């Protein structure tokens, strides 16, 4: 084992974030308050397009709030992909609805749009595409299908800041809501956290109420008003999904660096593309011409006839002190989803094939050029 282990992912936290957190702690306001309001305003301004941003404590919470706000409930169906993390599907079950899983496109690794239309039933209420790895799904066609059938669209954009689709930033498309993740390995981080983005004032109002116990007024507004402000009403059985000001303090400065972070990620991806092109690999799908890939993940697949297996390559990289991962073990293989919905690999041939041949290489802004070259050398050595 190489004595210097290169992790799969690491956040880049600077002195600006640290100073903002310290100032927040000294301010006496550490839960949802002025920093969260600033982060929400900054995030909405970053995206543009007249959107409103609602900060939450995870993207999972954001997806739950968004689906609840668009009216998904018991007996409904929501179409999504099997090739995702379980959070995408579990929030559907939170609401008593059923996920309907479809395969992914071999060209994009995002949800297969043709499969969406075939999966629509009278119970279908919404479509939830996943922008896999930072490459936007085919949102033009998905939105057209949704309009044709009167369905809502909630985007799982956990990987997608700052990706674009048809020239528009994900988060500003003509969908009902978009949910971003700020988990530790994402393109910007707040440690834990997420953001619900929408243009619909009713969805925004509902998400704000439901993120904090169904209370009719934000705690910040109640506690800083100069007028008597102790009175509030519980208007729904809500959740505890608010983002703290400590997390928002980190997010404020991470967001300022988002474009620079993206440039570094894109440069690393381009170097991987160049150095690995002659190997028996299928390299990650790029964004369509004119669009931006956020490069949250760099996912490679072993080509047919490759001289080693996916698992052997992972083992080789770990022995060389290089962390890597697999995105994802599809939901049709996970015991709960498999047994609950009687899923088999044959139902999702593309996802199954991708899973069996895929691994994800390190890609994060703290990687030095020599770290990138070390990964490249280790991958190349595995094929020698």
Beta pairing partners, 169: 164
Identify the CA nearest to 1 among candidates 348, 215, 321: 321
Give the 3-state secondary structure of residue 155: strand
| Residue 56, token pair as written in the block | 């939450």
Task: Please report, for residues 185, 230, 276, 279, 289, the alpha-carbon distance to residue 374 in angstroms, rounded to integers and kept in the order given.
Answer: 20, 59, 13, 16, 30
118 is catalytic: no
Judging by DSSP bridges, how do beta strands 77-81 and 177-181 pair with one another? unpaired
CA 248 to chain centre: 18
Quote the DSSP letter at residue 221.
Answer: H
Marked catalytic residue, from 35, 186, 205, 257: 186
| Residue 310, token pair as written in the block | 């996916």
Report how far apart the first and last C-alpha atoms of the chain are (Å, whole number). Answer: 19
CB 153 within 8 A of CB 129: yes
Helix 258-276 crosses helix 245-256 at what angle (to 10 degrees)?
60
CB 104 within 8 A of CB 137: no
Active site residues: 186
């Amino acid at each position: 084992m190489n004595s210097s282990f290169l992790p799969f992912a690491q956040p880049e936290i600077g002195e600006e974030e640290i100073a903002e957190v310290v100032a927040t702690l000294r301010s006496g306001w550490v839960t949802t308050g002025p920093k969260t309001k600033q982060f929400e305003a900054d995030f909405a301004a970053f995206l543009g397009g007249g959107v409103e941003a609602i900060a939450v404590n995870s993207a999972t919470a954001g997806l739950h709030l968004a689906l609840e706000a668009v009216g998904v409930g018991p007996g409904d169906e929501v179409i999504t992909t099997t090739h995702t993390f379980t959070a995408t599907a579990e929030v559907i079950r939170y609401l008593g609805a059923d996920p309907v899983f479809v395969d992914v496109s071999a060209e994009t690794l995002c949800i297969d749009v043709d499969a969406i239309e075939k999966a629509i039933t009278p119970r279908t209420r919404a479509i939830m595409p996943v922008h896999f790895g930072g490459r936007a799904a085919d949102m033009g066609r998905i939105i057209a299908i949704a309009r044709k059938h009167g369905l809502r669209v909630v985007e799982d954009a956990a990987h997608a800041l700052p990706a674009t689709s048809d020239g528009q930033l994900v988060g500003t498309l003509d969908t009902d809501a978009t949910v971003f993740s700020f988990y530790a390995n994402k393109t910007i981080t707040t440690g834990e956290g997420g953001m619900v983005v929408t243009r619909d004032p009713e969805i925004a109002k509902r998400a704000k109420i439901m993120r904090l116990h169904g209370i009719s007024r934000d705690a910040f507004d109640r506690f800083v008003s100069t007028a008597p402000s102790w009175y509030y009403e519980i208007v729904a059985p809500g959740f505890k999904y608010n983002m703290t000001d400590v997390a928002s303090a980190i997010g404020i400065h991470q967001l300022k660096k988002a474009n620079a972070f993206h440039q570094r990620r894109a440069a690393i991806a381009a170097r991987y593309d160049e150095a690995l092109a002659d190997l028996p690999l299928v390299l990650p799908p790029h964004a369509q011409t004119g669009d931006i890939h956020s490069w949250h993940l760099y996912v490679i697949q072993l080509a047919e006839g490759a001289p080693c297996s996916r698992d052997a390559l992972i083992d080789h990289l770990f022995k060389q002190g290089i962390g890597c991962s697999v995105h994802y073990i599809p939901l049709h293989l996970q015991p709960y989803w498999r047994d609950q919905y009687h899923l088999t690999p044959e139902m999702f041939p593309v996802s199954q094939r991708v899973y069996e041949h895929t691994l994800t290489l390190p890609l994060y802004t703290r990687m030095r050029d020599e770290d990138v070259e070390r990964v490249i050398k280790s991958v190349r050595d595995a094929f020698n």
